[in-house]
């Protein structure tokens, strides 16, 4: 049996101590990340520099000994590889050339050409597969089609994903064609990450929560199911983590419906609710609020223990409910890990 605790949890094992990693564990809250990013010049140059991207992936492993490393890249690299220009505005976030008409969807590059842009990402994975400690699991990732489409349609992040919802209503054929192209390209992108050495992949549907009713089924659940079944056909036994963030009741049965081995839980639901309603379906990941990485103290210790206790009766990977924020204190991360491992 494998020694890697993350892989054991993903296989459904209940471990005495849950394995741990953290969304955005390589990020601006770490001074060593900020130094390497400055060396790269900017965020995208860092993503496309395999040596430096591997270096920042390894930094939180060295500092904290997390049980998994997540490839350092971004969900917006795939749409960029399909053609639209991408840039980041300091202090604001991503900007992207918009894709809102059928002509623009048809003008996107063929999925066979994405690797021209994305090959440095695969190179990063190869370096990591060589350099990670033997007990550390390497996680690759991509954005889920709906979340990626929201950025392609609006050209930026938005609170309510209004532009994507509007296109879905006004020109459904274009919207569906875009979702299909992203879905197909995501299979190839993740498959290349696996060939390069990723042991697990995670699909981030950060904006799944704004899809309701049939839309949730059509544009969160079905694309994830297509991606996961295609990947598992190519790579039998590949463990997959799905993250339909803020899905609420949509979390119930989601893992089985999409064929994921683990469902990541955000902190809009309590760990007790997720343990009762989601964990019976298999491994769950989550779900301490990232706010505790800023505020620390007794609240952090109490809430960390609460998450561990709530999920103790089933397979669990300890994580935050969303990414750690730049204002977090690394000492609080150390305290969280110590608390999980002694709980």
Query: Which residues are near ligand CP3 by CB under 6 A?
Result: 23-28, 37, 43, 70, 72-76, 93-94, 141, 157, 204, 206, 323
User: Which residue among the candidates 48, 151, 189, 251 is catalytic per the annotation?
Assistant: 151
- The DSSP code sequence of 18-29 is --B--TT-SSTT
CB of 335 to ligand CP3, least distance (A): 19
In the complex, what is the shortest distance from the CB of residue 322 to ligand CP3, in angstroms, rounded to a whole number?
6
Report the alpha-carbon distance of residue 2 to residue 315 in Å, rounded.
16
Residue in the structure block whose two tokens are 């590889």: 81
- Which one of 8, 24, 226, 245 is the catalytic residue? 24
Closer to ligand CP3 by Cβ: residue 28 or 63 = 28
β-pairing, 283-288 vs 316-320, is parallel
* CA neighbor of 319 nearest in space, from 33, 49, 70: 70
**Considering the complex, what minimum distance in angstroms separates the CB of residue 43 from ligand CP3?**
4
Assess whether 305 carries a catalytic annotation.
no
Q: Closest residue to ligand CP3, Cβ-based?
A: 206
Please identify which of the residues 37, 67, 205, 266 carries the catalytic annotation: 37
C-alpha to C-alpha distance for 268 and 287, rounded to whole angstroms:
9
What are the residues whose beta carbons fall under 8 Å from the beta carbon of 266, sequence distance 6 or more?
Answer: 243, 245, 246, 286, 287, 321, 322
Does 24 participate in catalysis according to the annotation? yes
Residues with Cβ < 8 Å from 102, sequence gap 6 or more? 171, 173, 174, 177
Q: By C-beta, is 47 or 314 nearer to ligand CP3?
A: 47
Neighbouring C-alpha atoms within 13 Å toward the C-beta of 303: 21
40 or 228: CB nearest ligand CP3: 40
52 vs 314, beta carbon nearer ligand CP3: 52
129, 141, 180 from 194: Cα distances, Å: 10, 10, 21
Contact status, residue 185 vs residue 82, Cβ threshold 8 Å: yes
Least distance between ligand CP3 and beta carbon 102 (Å): 25
CA 154 to chain centre: 21
Cβ distance to ligand CP3 smaller for residue 153 or 314? 153
Q: How far is the CB of 25 from ligand CP3 (least distance, A)?
A: 5
**So which residues are the catalytic ones?**
24, 28, 37, 74, 151
């Amino acid at each position: 049996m494998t020694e890697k605790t993350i892989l054991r949890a993903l296989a459904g094992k209940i471990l005495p101590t849950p394995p741990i990693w953290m969304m955005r564990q390589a990020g601006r809250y770490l001074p060593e990340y900020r130094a390497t990013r400055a060396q790269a010049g900017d965020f995208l140059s860092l993503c496309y520099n395999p040596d430096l991207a591997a270096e920042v992936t390894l930094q939180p492993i060295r500092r904290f000994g997390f049980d998994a490393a997540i490839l350092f890249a971004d969900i917006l690299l795939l749409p960029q590889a399909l053609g639209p220009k991408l840039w980041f505005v300091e202090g604001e976030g991503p900007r992207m050339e918009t894709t809102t008409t059928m002509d623009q969807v048809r003008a996107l590059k063929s999925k066979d050409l994405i690797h021209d842009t994305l090959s440095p990402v695969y190179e990063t994975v190869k370096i990591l597969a060589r350099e990670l400690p033997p007990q550390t699991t390497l996680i690759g990732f991509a954005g889920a089609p709906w979340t990626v489409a929201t950025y392609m349609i609006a050209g930026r992040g938005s609170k309510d994903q209004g532009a994507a919802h509007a296109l879905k209503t006004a020109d459904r054929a274009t919207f569906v064609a875009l979702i299909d192209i992203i879905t197909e390209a995501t299979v190839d992108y993740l498959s290349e990450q696996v060939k390069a050495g990723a042991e697990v992949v995670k699909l981030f549907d950060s904006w799944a929560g704004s899809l309701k009713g049939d839309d949730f089924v059509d544009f969160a659940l079905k694309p994830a199911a297509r991606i996961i079944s295609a990947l598992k056909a190519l790579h039998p036994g590949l463990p997959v983590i799905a993250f339909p963030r803020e899905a609420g009741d949509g979390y119930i049965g989601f893992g089985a419906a999409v064929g994921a081995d683990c469902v990541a839980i955000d902190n809009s639901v309590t760990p007790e609710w997720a343990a009762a309603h989601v964990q019976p379906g298999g491994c769950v990941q989550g779900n301490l609020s990232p706010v505790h990485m800023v505020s620390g103290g007794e609240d952090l210790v109490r809430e960390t223990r609460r998450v561990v206790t709530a999920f103790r009766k089933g397979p669990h990977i300890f994580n935050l409910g969303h990414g750690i924020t730049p204002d977090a204190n690394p000492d609080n991360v150390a305290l969280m890990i110590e608390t999980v491992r002694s709980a």
